[in-house]
Amino acid sequence: MMNFKQRTLITGLLFSIVAVGHLSAANAPKLVIVAGKPSHPPRMHEFNAGVQLLVNCLKDQEGIDVHFVLNGWPKDESIFDGADAVVFYMYGGRGHEVVQEGTRRLKMVDGWVEKGVGLGFMHFGVEVVADQAGDQFKKWIAGHYDHMFSCNPIWEPQFNQFPEHPICNGVKPFSIKDEWYFNMRFIDGVSADGPSETEELKFWPILVATPSDDVRDGPYVYPKGPYPHIEAAKGRAEAMMWAVERKNGARGYGFTGGHFHDNWGDDNFRKVVLNAMLWIAKADVPNDGVASTVTKGQLDANLDPKGRR
């Protein structure tokens, strides 16, 4: 009987082969989605299951060539060859995959951006230590989660209005409980107030909501807080998802949700991320957004064997 690692490896390889065979003949943009190693209790930070679910949602989408990697940075980096966009859904902070091996990976990813490759970072993947990769993340996606500057409460924002942007195609107002990070360490000149432009890039706040005073007062997931500077900003709207386009055409997005795996069952939560993946790869986003359905069985598939905690 195959163990979990063998099953997930074979599943990933099989789907990658199918995707290449189906879409590469049309010279479609290549999207690579990288799932991080297991962490947290069951149905939280299910990076491997989440990535496979999102890939499955894109399997019938025309005009995109989708590949994925499980359990962290690929041993065979040739999967990145010719990529038009790369998305990272994974562990962050000092354990972030892009800051391992000294600066080699950071330089590799920076080289992609210089060539116009799009980047997406999701949930814990938007957090880096400022002195390790803060400058790079500000360049790539205009900002990052900064420990003790940003905060990570579990709350249920109301996303009621969206900018005119392809990532928002077909997305309807929704509300869902998640560990929505906010007060990101953004570059100067951008905010949740609306689209803006700096010398380096264009910026669009995609998912924006105003945390209540209770949310700002905590507790946060870690450290519990409250932080005085978070409380001092009561009444201010915050961006939980944003998109950028650099002057050289490289696109990117940050998405702070994705803590609870079952949230991928929400049509709008899922659609805004699927749309973003197409957009950063410069594939056409359907007028009504990416159509997909997810069953309970699909949500239960490919979960990491974390046991009970």
pLDDT value, residue 25: 31
Q: Which domains does the chain have, with CATH numbers?
A: 4-300 (3.40.50.880)
Token code pair at residue 243: 């998109």
With a cut of 50, list the residues of the chain below it in pLDDT: 1-25, 309
Q: pLDDT tens across 202-252, in order?
A: 999 999 999 999 999 999 999 999 999 999 999 999 999 999 999 999 999
Q: What is the 3-state secondary structure (H, E, C) of 27-91?
A: CCCEEEEEECCCCCCCCECCHHHHHHHHHHHCCCCCCCEEEEECCCCCCCHHHHCCCCEEEEECC
Cis ω for the linkage preceding 219 (within 30 of 0): yes
Q: What is the pLDDT of residue 306?
A: 85
* Token pair for 180: 């929505």
Residue 23 has a pLDDT of: 33
